[in-house]
Amino acid sequence: MSDDEVLPDAPAISENAEAPKAQDGNAHDPNERTAAQGTSNVKLEDLFKDDDDDDEYPFSSATEPASHGSQSENADHTGRSSADIVGDRNPGPQPAKIDMETMYAFYQRLFPFKYLFQWLNHGIKPSVDFGNREFAFTLQNDAYLRYQSYPTAEGLRKDILRLNPSRFEIGPVYSTNPRDRKSLRKSSAFRPVSKELVFDIDLTDYDDIRTCCEKANICPKCWAFVTMAIKVIDRALRDDFGFEHILWVYSGRRGAHAWVCDQRARNLTDERRKAIAGYLEVVRGGAQSGKRVNLKRPLHPHVERSRNILIPYFRSTILNNQDTFSSSDQAARLLQFIPDKSLKDALQKKWESAPSRGSSSKWSDIDDVAKASGNQGLDTKALLEAKEDIILEYTYPRLDAEVSKKLIHLLKSPFVVHPGTGRVCVPIDVKRVEQFNPLEVPTVAELLDEINAWDMEHRPEATDTKMSAGDEDDGADGDDMKKRRLQDYEKTKLRPYIDYFRTFVASLNRDERASGKREREEDGAGEQGSMDF
């Protein structure tokens, strides 16, 4: 997105334009905690609450405080200076721990280091896109290790096998190698220059309207909120902004992350990231802030398109599966949207006389009672708009906008293991998003059991097959499949997810090569038409 481009169907954004009030923020040094200083009195530590969907881990863009005594011991066995290790986290409720041997086996045999490298490197030949990228590790003792970087996939693989982290996160590409930042004369020389545009969807943001689960718990009924959010956001990013390479990843517990990988998206400034986040933000404020959707008419084309996508979900999820308005509290909240007092009073009387009335019936009552009154003095246009607002309030994506605003925000890597559930953070095929069931995503223990079972069944052929994803040549089939050693991930339920990721990366890198070729041709044409002095 060039500086003179504008958001679709929206006012032009100049370089000194103010960000929307909901997006107010100050620029920060990359060593500081990512945070936006809003107009309201919000505690700094609350701005990123649950930003990467893990109760047991606080937000990712962490400050580097002075090392605690316990951390200096860690510096010895990790080989890192204590300044690189962030102090012990307060993990909150302790999840069931995944033992270190299991994690080591996962990294050694299943993690797709090759494809992760190609994804972040944007090609096969090592470049600064990967070499200057920050990685941050959560170690098994909950120490947090930042500003790590690697020239190659093998370097990353060896260090992960040595450290055996419980998980790791990906940060931006910096102007210089993150490992060399302390040797620079000027700290301003170390700055983030690019990173994927990211979005975070977390089901805890729907706790005020989902009736089946709360907090970290999920089920297929409430996962529908994530499904509809993915469909709305993905469509807007493609149709309104022209982005093509969008990777959706299951967070491992109760949410999903989007990585917009197009070069234009990676090079966006913080100001433009805030503008895009503001463009997509319709539901504003917290659960206790009353009505959270306040839209002008006519509806923006993006909002109108989103409404059309969401209407079927409102019926199936809100009115039926969640039965959201069945309780008296939720019925009272629904009445707050009704603009006509007489209609509101009539509905309240009807529902109080039949407290067991379901959500679908209550929704139909709005039109039925309005018609029964003969529409005397009723503003039908205002009622229609109120019903549109209700649909959007209860179904439109609830984004953690702070995650999207800053280049320096770190986000959990695809294919890491969620330490609380043991599930792998697998990609979600947006074309089959309706079929994705988070409860069917394999756990690391299940995957290792599958490998062992396969090896036992194919004992004569299965010798020395301990290969992580991507270690062998791609594209073998037929007789070649019989001759080559089967990769361990191909023996498990992880195979379709890694195959999808490999295809995604190949498509991204094809476009990167084509774009680079066009730029070289344009530069060459410019040189031919210029005069040498």
253 inside domain: yes
Region of residue 446 (phi > 0: left; psi between -120 and 50: alpha; otherwise: beta): alpha
223 inside domain: no
Does residue 396 surpass a pLDDT of 70?
Answer: yes
Residues 274 and 345 in one domain: no
Select the highest-mean-pLDDT range: 94-98, 376-380, 430-434, 481-485.
430-434
Does residue 532 surpass a pLDDT of 50?
Answer: no
230 inside domain: no
Does residue 279 surpass a pLDDT of 90?
Answer: yes
515 inside domain: no
494 inside domain: no
Mean pLDDT score, 393-416 = 96
Does residue 72 surpass a pLDDT of 80?
Answer: no
Q: Can you read off the two tokens belonging to residue 531?
A: 């005069």
- Residue 33: the pLDDT is 35
Does residue 312 surpass a pLDDT of 90?
Answer: yes
Mean pLDDT score, 182-187 = 87
Longest dimension (CA), the chain: 91
- CA atoms of 24 and 498, how far apart (whole Å): 38
Residues 309 and 193 in one domain: no
- Residue 482: the pLDDT is 54
Residues 389 and 421 in one domain: no
The residue out of 329, 364, 395 marking a domain boundary is 395
Residues 141 and 113 in one domain: yes
The confidence band for 14, taking pLDDT boundaries of 50, 70 and 90, is very low
Q: Where are the alpha helices (DSSP H) in 289-439?
A: 301-313, 328-335, 341-353, 359-372, 380-395, 401-405
CB-facing half-sphere around the CA of 375: CA atoms within 13 A: 8
The model's pTM: 0.79
Model confidence over 150-182: pLDDT tens digits? 999 999 999 999 999 999 999 999 999 999 999
- Residue 2: the pLDDT is 46
- CA atoms of 171 and 183, how far apart (whole Å): 20
27 with 270: CB under 8 angstroms? yes
- Residue 60: the pLDDT is 39
The confidence band for 185, taking pLDDT boundaries of 50, 70 and 90, is confident
The residue out of 395, 428, 460 marking a domain boundary is 395
The confidence band for 357, taking pLDDT boundaries of 50, 70 and 90, is very high
Q: Can you read off the two tokens belonging to residue 211?
A: 């009736």
| DSSP secondary structure code for residue 172 in this structure | E
Number of domains composing the chain: 2
The confidence band for 188, taking pLDDT boundaries of 50, 70 and 90, is confident
Domain that includes residue 145, residue range:
21-203+240-280+399-440
Find the range with the poorest average confidence among 40-49, 267-276, 293-302. 40-49
Residues 121 and 60 in one domain: yes
Residues 42 and 156 in one domain: yes
- Residue 472: the pLDDT is 54
The confidence band for 68, taking pLDDT boundaries of 50, 70 and 90, is very low
Residues 194 and 334 in one domain: no
- Beta-sheet strands, E only, within 45-131: 85-86
Does residue 479 surpass a pLDDT of 90?
Answer: no
Mean pLDDT score, 212-218 = 93
Does residue 330 surpass a pLDDT of 70?
Answer: yes
Higher pLDDT, 413 or 472: 413
Residues 384 and 414 in one domain: no
Select the highest-mean-pLDDT range: 26-35, 74-83, 471-480.
471-480
Residues 435 and 385 in one domain: no
474 inside domain: no
Q: Residue type at 482?
A: K
- Classify residue 116 by burial, with Cβ atoms within 10 Å: 0-12, 13-18, 19+: buried
463 inside domain: no
Report the mean per-residue pLDDT for the chain: 82
Active site residues: 134, 200, 202
The residue out of 379, 410, 440 marking a domain boundary is 440
Residues 78 and 183 in one domain: yes
- CA atoms of 51 and 424, how far apart (whole Å): 18
- Residue 190: the pLDDT is 94
Residues 420 and 347 in one domain: no
CATH number at residue 417: 3.90.920.10
19 with 271: CB under 8 angstroms? yes
Residues 102 and 39 in one domain: yes
Model confidence over 87-146: pLDDT tens digits? 433 333 344 568 999 999 999 999 999 999 999 999 999 999 999 999 999 999 999 999
- CA atoms of 369 and 385, how far apart (whole Å): 17
135 inside domain: yes
Three-state SS at 235: helix
- Residue 62: the pLDDT is 37
